[in-house]
Structure 1
Amino acid sequence: MRTGTRLILGLSFVMLSATAASEQIFSSDKAEFRLETVAQNLEHPWSLAFLPDGSMLVTEREGRLRIIRDGSLVDEPVSGLPELVVSGQGGLLDVILDPDFETNQILFLSYAHKVSREGMTTRVARAKLDGNRLADVEVIFEALPRGTTGRHFAGRMEFDRDGNLYVAVGDRGEMNRAQATDDDAGGVHRLTTDGEPAPGNPFTDDPTVNDTFFTYGNRNIQGMTIHPETGEIWSHEHGPRGGDEINIIRAGNNYGWPDVTYGIDYSGVPITDKTTMEGVTDPLHYWDPSIAPSGMAFYTGDQFPEWQGDLFVGALKMRKLVRLSIENEDVKEEEDLLEDLGERIRDVRMGPDGVLWLLTDHSDGKVYRIVPAE
């Protein structure tokens, strides 16, 4: 809200400059819409952030931070990024602005990092955006111990209304790590902007649990967003074969992986016969078969009043956008959109211009806006 008015004005030029992806009209049960292409030729774009002047930041998993300015993708990437590794599912991941970005120009990046003998992990760095470069780069969080796989880095981030930063770390493809609370993998960590455990974290008095933990038992979170009314952090995570989940991230909760799941192993072998158990938080919603969810946002704009309050989730495997109508934490309606587009949806963002923005996960990835058909 601090930067909303200036951002809407700045984005007006982008709106005018965007070219139509297609003349095709897409239909929802509640609205008709089309897509506008804002940028393309991005290499596996992963995350999108809106700047106060109407520009946008886009991360490419291949290790580049790009700027979209005046409706065009700037050729030269932002310089000064922290050292990172591009391997498997890892690379440059999320970007999120400090709540006071308009005055301090501070942002946060999540990414994969490697030390040759110890392996790879998820890191978070804080930096100041100075024109087309990053300055004062500082690593504020590193998930330990490291692992040898190139899977399940997670990396999604979100701020709550108190200015605490939530950072998701995956189980790194080693499922039992998600229940090991002296191991940073497989959970959500809540930090101050300096990287310290946030005040009020649920395990600070328990010497067997790392102080930054907010939740655990999470497999591989690829979407996080704040509920526009309650202020709670919502997430979704990948299951194995089946069992993708939507959860509300609440202090101290164990979300069960791998002790409970609606999915099975990729080999076809059951992981567990339990889908619920005492002491474990059941998902708000799950998918079986898996859709491979990525990116999520509540619709809060005025361009599609019929969608007000609905939750939108991208899908990688199933190549679609899912709309969920939710009432009192119950999913009342689920609708699949953009199936004819045939693109892997990596990120979904609510734009200050009143429409949804999408990133597609391809070597020629695109930035789309969803706009009314007329």
Structure 2
Amino acid sequence: MLKPLFHHPARLLPLFLLCTVGLSANLVIADDGDYEEQLTELQSGFEYTELSQEIAFPWSLAVLPNSELLVTSRAGALWHLSAEGIVINNVMPELPELWIDGQAGLFDIALHPDFDTEPFIYLSYACGSLRANTTCLSRGHWNGSELQDIEPIFQAYPFKRGSAHYGGRIAFLPDNTLLLTLGDGFDYRERAQLLSDHLGTTVRIELNGEVPSDNPFIANPKALPEIFSYGHRNVQGVAWHPQLEQLFISEHGPRGGDEINRLRAGGNFGWPLITGGVDYTGARITPYRDLPGLHGPEVEWTPSIAPSGLIVYQGDEFSDWHGDLLVPALAGKQVARVRVNDTGAEVIDILFQDLNARIRDIRVEPATGALLLLVDAAEGKIIRVTKK
């Protein structure tokens, strides 16, 4: 068993009590005129269909090739649903040392890129105990109704105390490697600038957990070989943009300073040396918004919206959104639509605020291009969004 890090006394109030709702300065809704009227006009073209209301605090969703759904619950359940949202089974995967407390629990789910021939399912989750826990990644074989032969393939180092800031999002890259985001553990933010542990990093591994030979710090004897980027606070969204051939992430700031970043191999993204946010006490974390050698955000939100996922939209239902980033938000109760190109990014729309819901994740139905929203609540919902 790895020894936990020294635990600093909690100095911050819980995130969910103090997050405030804000809109990016880049938003294109006009400043003149009534905002509520403009918002109503924006939302008038959507139809919402509730597929399920039975899942407590859903975290992520995957669409199977037969259009059935697999949905993770932070409480540790893996729900198997029909395409219409009818419960087929409540699978309780036997994940090694699954730890559920506060923000800890079962997180992301992702299907193997060649799922038809390699029916593996990847799950990220918190593992350990209150005094010694971290982010883990396992995979298992899906037999159509159950997850079998579950094997751990990655465990972040070191174990630490507390139950916050795990990251946990999974993305597959075109070279058949896997990217996993990892948080700073909340009380250990300074360690996000170190390469000697995984706190505040993203890691890149092979689909079986091995380390790729071309990782950016592979030749650095003082760095952990899995690290792909560092200087992160709590990345909870990651997506590959196929047209731009670039990675994008969404990241929780403290009180303000939420970010969209263009992820670069070996990049230092600055936390906590640079940020647009302040501590939950109101104290300044750093005087700097940028420093040489550190990558700043493409988009920033202050006050916070708490971005909780990220997809690059590819589909037919909303064809004029093709290639845009869709960023769900918890505190903001919205999905931000962000247009990106080779040199910049801009928030061009806010969506679904009329739902008045904490949106944890967003996915696309491959067959139709319709959107599937996960609502973060004790009686969580799956909402299907189409055009009217």
| Fold similarity call, TM over 0.5 | yes
Cα 1:170/1:70, change in 2 over 3 Å: closer
Q: 1:280-329 CA deviation, whole Å, 9 max, x = no partner? A: 01111111111000111122212222222221111101211111223334
Q: Which of 43, 59, 62 lines up with 2:56 in the alignment?
A: 43
Q: Which of 98, 103, 109 lines up with 1:89 in the alignment?
A: 103
**Amino acid paired to 1:268:** G
Query: Counterparts in 2 of 1:216-231, with a 5 A limit?
Result: 216-231=230-245
Partner residue of 1:167?
Answer: 180
Q: Which of 34, 37, 52 lines up with 2:65 in the alignment?
A: 52
Pick which of 170-179 and 33-42 moved more.
Answer: 33-42
RMSD: 1.7
**Amino acid paired to 1:243:** G
**Structure with the larger RCO, 1 or 2 (CA within 8 Å, 6+ apart):** 2
8 Å Cα contact 1:79-1:132 kept in structure 2: no
Q: 1:100-134 CA deviation, whole Å, 9 max, x = no partner? A: 11112101100001146x51110000111123221
Distance 1:75 1:165 in 2: 29
Cα 1:263/1:341, change in 2 over 3 Å: same
Query: Any stretches of 5+ residues in structure 2 without a counterpart?
Result: 1-38
Secondary structure of the corresponding residue to residue 191 of structure 2: helix
Partner residue of 1:340?
Answer: 354
Q: Does 1:366 pair with 2:350?
A: no
Q: Which of 141, 161, 181 lines up with 1:148 in the alignment?
A: 161
How far 1:58 sits from its partner (Å)? 0.3
Pick which of 296-305 and 134-143 moved more.
Answer: 296-305
8 Å Cα contact 1:126-1:139 kept in structure 2: yes
Partner residue of 2:282?
Answer: 268
Query: Counterparts in 2 of 1:1-374, with a 5 A limit?
Result: 27-28=41-42, 32-74=45-87, 76-83=89-96, 84-115=98-129, 119-173=132-186, 174-352=188-366, 353-373=368-388
Q: 1:230-258 CA deviation, whole Å, 9 max, x = no partner? A: 33221110000000011111110000000
8 Å Cα contact 2:364-2:372 kept in structure 1: yes
Cα 1:186/1:294, change in 2 over 3 Å: same
8 Å Cα contact 1:26-1:33 kept in structure 2: no
TM-score, normalised via structure 2 length: 0.86
Secondary structure of the corresponding residue to residue 192 of structure 2: helix
Pick which of 63-72 and 253-262 moved more.
Answer: 63-72
8 Å Cα contact 2:252-2:259 kept in structure 1: yes
Distance 1:324 1:39 in 2: 28
Instruction: Give identity over the alignment, percent.
Output: 39
**Amino acid paired to 2:196:** D
8 Å Cα contact 2:237-2:308 kept in structure 1: yes
8 Å Cα contact 2:200-2:231 kept in structure 1: yes
Pick which of 61-70 and 261-270 moved more.
Answer: 61-70
Secondary structure of the corresponding residue to residue 320 of structure 2: helix
Question: Which runs of 4 or more aligned residues in structure 1 lie more than 3 Å from their structure 2 counterparts after TM superposition?
Answer: none
Query: Any stretches of 5+ residues in structure 1 without a counterpart?
Result: 1-24
Query: What is the aligned residue count?
Result: 347
8 Å Cα contact 1:110-1:124 kept in structure 2: yes
**Amino acid paired to 1:164:** T
How far 1:79 sits from its partner (Å)? 3.9
Cα 1:72/1:314, change in 2 over 3 Å: closer
8 Å Cα contact 1:295-1:349 kept in structure 2: no
8 Å Cα contact 2:189-2:272 kept in structure 1: yes
Q: 1:12-67 CA deviation, whole Å, 9 max, x = no partner? A: xxxxxxxxxxxxx96438x8112111222210000011111111110000000011
8 Å Cα contact 1:160-1:231 kept in structure 2: no
TM-score, normalised via structure 1 length: 0.89
Cα 1:35/1:70, change in 2 over 3 Å: closer
**Amino acid paired to 2:377:** H
**Amino acid paired to 2:375:** T
